[in-house]
Chain A
């Protein structure tokens, strides 16, 4: 087993230093990836580093799920992550052009935004309930947010729960709009996974 394969095995087993070394090894190549794919009109709101920051966060989060499949599979995995994040950001920025950026969501109260978020995530059919009470929804979401990376949780709080437009979320986080779209997509994905495990958050699993 060579050094790289050894680091892959160590990283999967939870050695974050090994994962750092692996990402650093491929960073230069990955850094080139988004540049040619970000259209000129999006460059003010999306940069290669935004894509890599979310991709690396996901790598630290999901390395335990990675199944090596021969040489280069780690680099391929990381590259696919970057490509998918980039696609999500570009798709969301294109969608912004078709729809007004400012949101017109009005919530009766804080708890309403929680039930709306829970119902939205449940619409995929992967979360255990769509009919939680306001209080229950708030407790479930708050508990799940504690288990997300801090920036994922912030995006959900500001965008989904406080109803802020993307521009304001971006300003509050000190990020570009494209970065917020990627964070939002990954945060929803992870939140949906966490909520999909009924025994973790629900007293009465569906």
Chain B
């Protein structure tokens, strides 16, 4: 173990210190992307045919936006995978499966799938936007 100046804990030997220090130095002055909020929504043309209005929910796999479709003048929920450079192929497969399953279901109590597409930023799909509380919050309260 060795102690580095300015560091509050010892790092183990064979810790890849030079690689880690290089990485840290490289990003000291770089602009770092953060979690999107109302001010840092995706660019307007990220999802062709849809304009992002706000972010509704964010999970480990994807993010759900409220979006507006100018051609039909309807407001929808748009779900996209996030984090391309760290994207997991299993997440992509799970996402594709979610689209396939949703496309087959037609029931008044199940949200309908309207559209799905793939852009350079990854896949996304479009559903009905249901007003109200998120289901997980509702279940937790009951």
How many contacting A-B pairs (Cβ < 8 A)? 135
Interface size class on chain A is: 35 or more
Interface of A is mostly: helix
Interface size class on chain B is: 35 or more
Collect the chain A residues with CB atoms within 8 Å of residue B11's CB.
Answer: 20-21, 24
B20 near A23 with CB under 8 A, answer yes
User: Of B19, B34, B119, which is in contact with the most chain A CB atoms at under 10 Å from its CB?
Assistant: B19
The residue from A60, A61, A126, A190 contacting B120, defined by CB atoms under 8 A apart: A126
A59 near B23 with CB under 8 A, answer yes
Within 8 A of B (CB), among A16-50: 16-17, 19-21, 23-25, 27-28, 30-31, 49
Given contact pairs A81-B85, A193-B33, A126 touches B19 in the complex (Cβ within 8 A): no
For residue A206, give the distance in angstroms from its CB to the closest CB of chain B.
Answer: 7
Mark interface residues in B82-99 (1 if CB within 8 Å of A CB, else 0). 111111100000000000
Within 8 A of B (CB), among A44-85: 49, 52-53, 56-62, 64-67, 69, 73, 76-77, 80-81, 84-85
B42 near A20 with CB under 8 A, answer no
Listed in ascending order, the chain B residues whose CB lies under 8 Å from chain A are: 7-9, 11-12, 14-17, 19-20, 22-24, 26-27, 30-35, 40, 42-46, 48, 58-60, 82-88, 119-121
Closest-by-CB residue of A relative to B27 is A60
B15 near A27 with CB under 8 A, answer yes
